[in-house]
A = this chain, B = another copy of it.
Amino acid sequence: MTQTAAKLVIITEKVLLKDITKIIDAAGATGYTVMAAGGKGSRNTRSSGQPAISDTFSNIKFEVITASGDVAREIADKVAKRYFDNYSGIAYIDEIEVLYAHRL
């Protein structure tokens, strides 16, 4: 069932976790993965400052894999328009080849 798919990555501030989860669900994506992250962005230094990797992570990295690039772009559009004026963040797409998934 090898299938080309779009991997949408959104890295932004942790406080947006629940809001972004709702946007992903509403767009019809079948799942997502979220990880803790630290770092520095171009807008300003994220609240973690010098990243203390073992202590606190003030950022999150979402990965959403969708069969349709349109769904990925819709999610990115909504997140960026609602939050990226006031929060640091980046959204990018990477093309991948899905080998196994319960459903895309």
Contact = CB atoms under 8 A, between A and B. Distances in A.
A104 B42 CA distance: 7
A80 B100 CA distance: 7
A86 B30 CA distance: 18
Interface residues of A, number: 56
* Most chain B beta-carbon neighbours within 10 Å: one of A7, A41, A53: A53
Given A32-B39, A42-B102, A102-B88, A50 B18 contact: yes
Contacts of A39: 31-34
Contact of A36 (B17, B35, B42, B89): B35
Interface string A48-85: 00110110110111010100000001001101100010
Contacts of A63: 11
